[in-house]
Amino acid sequence: MSRQQAIANTLACFDDGRFQQTLARRVAYRTESQDAASGPILHAYLTEEMVPLLERLGFTWDIIENPEAGKSPFLIAERLEPGASFTVLTYGHGDVVRGYDAQWRDGLSPWDIVVEGNRWYGRGTADNKGQHTINLLALEQVLATRGGRLGYNVKVLLEMGEETGSPGLNEVCVMNRDRLAADLFIASDGPRNGASRPTLFLGSRGVFNFDLHLNLREGGHHSGNWGGLLRNPGIRLAHAIASMVDARGRILVPGLLPEELPDSVREALKSIQVGGDPNDPEIDLDWGEPGLTPAERVFGWNSMEVLAFTTGNPAMPVNAIPCDARAHCHMRYVVGSDDSNFVQHIRKHLDDHGFHDVELRTNDMHMPATRLDPDDDWVRWCLASMERSSGKSPALLPNLGGSLPNDVFAVTLGQPTLWIPHSYPACSQHAPNEHVLADVMREALNIMAGVFWDLAEEGPGVFATRKAGLSKRAESAVS
């Protein structure tokens, strides 16, 4: 019984085709959560594919219906050991975005794995079936190598609606708070920083969507008769946006900026390079907050984006001053931002700059920012485990540049969150021709087997040290 043997057993499952066979079977489920008719398939993925595996590993389980009527189900499973030192919660989602079957290139199908060299094509290979399949296979092999005993409890939460915004996820976690209680959260989603570098991220930037509308009058008016006499909503709205973010992408509304860039975050990002892979766009070095590196701008700071802007009829323009204009915008923001007051900050800024006529609208698309302290004991332990297995220095991202429902685990459940992604930035996630890289998956199996093994050997000590440190800091805060 050894770490090396557990890793070897896990890699053997990849090399002899068992991993590909399992992933192909899971990819074949058309788990498109955006399709209202997919309910039976979403349930089947859990009951036919996940439950038999979890039962074989000694888990008890329940299918949890979504508290939001008509939304996708959840699976909660538990494997509890007598005398366990601590508990780990892991997570994944079995739903995918629409297949867009006709848009895949010749020879490919979203519901079949097609191998071309180092690339494995198929919907869900990257997001997220491939990633949770890696984790569960590594856990299975570690359990087998250790004779069925880990020394820690494992809980699993699988959802089938992440691609539609995880409806009901927070409510399910609130209702099952005790059942999902854990001392550490480990999961996999999103891309690595680069294909060749193992990555650990500790949370995600938040997202806040808002619309700016300007309706000045009924109908358009001939620009020859009225040009120079009537306010143009497109021009006026463009100036309203320009008052919020300058020509180089710097946010000009102080209330939309984070309080600071912490030293621990700046230190973690020193070795992070953004972009540079063959399919990556070229970075605009003079865009965004001045004085920050590209990594600091995307992982440590806030950005405001205009995602759509319309006025008049862009498809068939006419010589008329339009009556209205609208822009769909959003914020990507980090911990330390005053996100609960973004609406008030934007409204006050527009009013202070004379744009009382611009209407501000928001919707429910508001995902909080989260970030575990890069100096946390679990972070240092995980980086060491990943490096031991891969022989590479992992990239540490304080948070993902995009957004995940990490607030449910970090805030609602109050758990330290470690995300170890197994995809890469150019995987065509959510697009036709989604794929994963075989060498990345194999390395990921190596890493995750090491992580689950090291949790058994080193986890009790890390847990005890961290718990003592938290108690000491709490006592100091009180005194």
Tens digit of each residue's pLDDT (9 = 90 or more) over 134-191: 999 999 999 999 999 999 999 999 999 999 989 999 999 999 999 999 999 999 999 9
Q: What is the pLDDT of residue 364?
A: 67
Tokens 């189900």 sit at which residue? 73
- 360-419: per-residue pLDDT in tens? 999 766 789 999 999 999 999 999 999 999 999 999 999 998 888 999 999 999 999 999
Same domain membership, residue 196 and residue 50: yes
Parent domain of 396: 3-204+369-471
Same domain membership, residue 236 and residue 117: no
Is the distance from CB of 147 to CB of 466 less than 8 angstroms? no
Same domain membership, residue 155 and residue 23: yes
Rounded to the nearest angstrom, the gap between the alpha carbon of residue 388 and the centroid of all alpha carbons in its chain is: 26
Strand partners, 435: 121
Same domain membership, residue 24 and residue 144: yes
Same domain membership, residue 241 and residue 188: no
Q: What is the pLDDT of residue 276?
A: 81
At residue 5, the 3 state secondary structure works out as helix
Q: What is the pLDDT of residue 365?
A: 65
Same domain membership, residue 218 and residue 194: no
Instruction: Return the half-sphere exposure (C-beta side, CA atoms, 13 A cut-off) of residue 241.
Output: 26
Question: How far apart (Å, rounded) are the C-alpha atoms in residues 240 and 231?
Answer: 13
CATH number of the structural domain spanning residue 41 = 3.40.630.10
The greatest distance separating any two alpha carbons of the chain, rounded to the nearest whole angstrom, comes to 87
Asked, for residue 478, whether it belongs to a domain, the answer is no
Same domain membership, residue 440 and residue 343: no
Torsion angle, CA of 243/244/250/254, rounded to 10 degrees?
120
Q: What is the pLDDT of residue 22?
A: 98
In this structure, the number of other CB atoms found within 10 A of the CB of residue 62 comes to 12
Same domain membership, residue 45 and residue 179: yes
Same domain membership, residue 197 and residue 116: yes
- 320-353: per-residue pLDDT in tens? 999 999 999 999 999 999 999 999 999 999 999 9
Mean pLDDT of 281-293: 94
Question: How far apart (Å, rounded) are the C-alpha atoms in residues 341 and 347?
Answer: 10
Asked, for residue 283, whether it belongs to a domain, the answer is no
Q: Which of 366, 398, 420 is the last residue of a domain?
A: 366
Question: How far apart (Å, rounded) are the C-alpha atoms in residues 50 and 71?
Answer: 19
Q: Residue 290 is which amino acid?
A: P
Q: Which of 312, 344, 366 is the last residue of a domain?
A: 366
Q: Which two tokens stand for residue 413?
A: 């459940």
State yes or no: pLDDT of 479 exceeds 90: no
How many residues are there in the chain?
A: 479
Q: What is the pLDDT of residue 287?
A: 96
Domain count for the chain, please give it: 2
- 200-241: per-residue pLDDT in tens? 999 999 999 999 999 999 999 999 999 999 999 999 999 999
With CA atoms as reference, report the closest residue to 12 among 118, 113, 141: 141
Asked, for residue 78, whether it belongs to a domain, the answer is yes
Q: What is the pLDDT of residue 477?
A: 73
Asked, for residue 132, whether it belongs to a domain, the answer is yes
- 416-463: per-residue pLDDT in tens? 999 999 999 999 999 999 999 999 999 999 999 999 999 999 999 999
DSSP string, 233-259: HHHHHHHHHHTTB-TTS-B--GGGS-S
Percent of the chain with pLDDT over 90: 93
Asked, for residue 280, whether it belongs to a domain, the answer is no
Same domain membership, residue 358 and residue 383: no
Mean pLDDT of 46-63: 98
Asked, for residue 286, whether it belongs to a domain, the answer is no
Question: How far apart (Å, rounded) are the C-alpha atoms in residues 421 and 187?
Answer: 8
Degrees to nearest 5, angle at CA 346 with 342 and 351 = 150
| Cis peptide preceding 319, ω within 30 of 0 | no
Q: What is the pLDDT of residue 417?
A: 98
Tokens 């000009």 sit at which residue? 252
Question: How far apart (Å, rounded) are the C-alpha atoms in residues 328 and 210?
Answer: 6
Question: How far apart (Å, rounded) are the C-alpha atoms in residues 440 and 431?
Answer: 20
Same domain membership, residue 180 and residue 102: yes
Same domain membership, residue 324 and residue 216: yes
Is the distance from CB of 141 to CB of 446 less than 8 angstroms? no
Asked, for residue 326, whether it belongs to a domain, the answer is yes
CATH number of the structural domain spanning residue 319 = 3.30.70.360
Q: What is the pLDDT of residue 367?
A: 85
Torsion angle, CA of 93/47/133/426, rounded to 10 degrees?
-40
Asked, for residue 289, whether it belongs to a domain, the answer is no
Q: Which of 351, 366, 381 is the last residue of a domain?
A: 366
Question: How far apart (Å, rounded) are the C-alpha atoms in residues 315 and 417?
Answer: 46
Q: Which two tokens stand for residue 178?
A: 């005790």
Based on the number of CB atoms within 10 Å of its own CB, is 310 exposed (0-12), middle (13-18) or buried (19 or more)?
Answer: middle
Enumerate long-range contacts of 275-280, CB under 8 Å, 24 or more apart: 276/194, 277/194, 277/195, 277/424, 277/425, 277/426, 278/426, 279/425, 279/426, 280/425, 280/426
Q: What is the pLDDT of residue 471?
A: 83
